[in-house]
A and B are shown apart, each in its own frame.
Chain A
Amino acid sequence: MQTLTEQDRGNIGRAAAPVLSVKNLQVHYTAESGDVTAVDGVSFDIGAGEVFGLAGESGCGKSTIANAVMRLLQTPAKITGGSIELNGRNLLDLGEEELRRTRWRDVAMVFQSAMNSLNPVMTIGDQIVDVFTTHERMPKKAARERAAELLKLVDISPDRLKSYPHQLSGGMRQRAVIAIALALKPSLLIMDEPTTALDVVVQQEIMHQIKELQQQLGFSILFITHDISLMVELSHRMAVMYAGKLVEVAPSKDMLENPLHPYTHALMGAFPPLTGPRVELTGIPDAPPNMAHPPTGCRFHPRCPLAIDACRTIEPLLLPGAENHDAACLLVPEYVVPSERSSR
Chain B
Amino acid sequence: MSPAHSTSSRPETGTGPLVQVRNLSKDYHLGSFPFRSTVRAVNDVSFDINHGEIVALVGESGSGKSTIARILARLEQPTGGQLIIDGQDIFATERRRASMKYRSKVQMVFQDPFGSLNPAHRIEHFLTRPLQLHGQNDSPKAIKLKLRELMATVGLGEQMLDRYPHQLSGGQRQRVAIARALAVEPEIILADEPTSMLDVSVRIGILNLMRKLRDERGVSMLYITHDLASARYIADTTLVMRAGDLVEGGESIELMAAPHHPYTQLLLSAVPDARRTQTVRPPKRDAAERNAGRGTGERVALSESHWALKVPESAA
Contacts and interface: CB of A to CB of B under 8 A. Distances in A.
Contact of A267 (B201, B269, B273, B285): B201
Interface in A168-210: 199-205, 207-208
B248 to A, nearest CB: 15
Contacts of A256: 274-275
Contact of A287 (B171, B204, B208): B171
Contacts of B257: 275
A283 interface: yes
Nearest to A281: B204
Contacts of A58: 199
Contacts of A266: 201
A231 B272 CA distance: 9
B202 A287 contact: yes
B272 A230 contact: yes
A2 interface: no
Nearest to B198: A58
Nearest to B257: A275
Contacts of B285: 201, 205
Contacts of B269: 204
A214 to B, nearest CB: 12
B267 interface: yes
Interface residues of B, number: 37
Between B201, B202, B267, B285, the greatest number of chain A beta carbons within 10 A of the residue's beta carbon is seen for B201
B143 interface: no
Interface residues of A, number: 38
Interface stretch (A9-17, A221-229, A316-324): A221-229
Tell me the dominant secondary structure on chain B's binding face.
helix
A281 to B, nearest CB: 5
Nearest to A197: B61
A61 to B, nearest CB: 14
Contacts of B281: 208
Interface in B256-306: 256-257, 266-276, 279, 281-282, 285
Interface in B198-257: 199-205, 207-208, 226, 228-230, 232-233, 253, 256-257
Contacts of B201: 57, 266-267, 270, 283-284, 288
A92 interface: no
Contacts of A81: none
Nearest to A274: B229
Interface in B96-124: none
Contacts of B270: 200-201, 203-204
B204 A272 contact: yes
A158 B208 CA distance: 48
A280 interface: yes
Given A204-B270, A227-B272, A274-B268, A199 B60 contact: yes
A120 B229 CA distance: 35
Given A57-B200, A200-B60, A226-B199, A272 B276 contact: no
Given A58-B199, A226-B200, A201 B267 contact: yes
Contact of B226 (A200, A211, A232, A270): A200
A272 B269 CA distance: 16
A207 B279 CA distance: 11
A202 B285 CA distance: 10
A102 to B, nearest CB: 32
Contacts of B200: 57, 226-227, 267, 270-271
Specify which of B202, B253, B269, B285 lies most central, judged by the most chain A CB atoms within 10 Å of its CB.
Answer: B202
Given A233-B273, A274-B232, A283 B267 contact: no
Interface of A: 57-58, 199-205, 207-208, 211, 226-233, 252, 256, 266-267, 270-275, 278, 280-284, 287-288
19 contacts: A58-B199, A200-B271, A201-B60, A201-B267, A201-B285, A202-B60, A205-B285, A207-B272, A229-B274, A231-B274, A232-B274, A233-B279, A270-B200, A270-B204, A274-B273, A275-B257, A281-B204, A283-B208, A287-B202
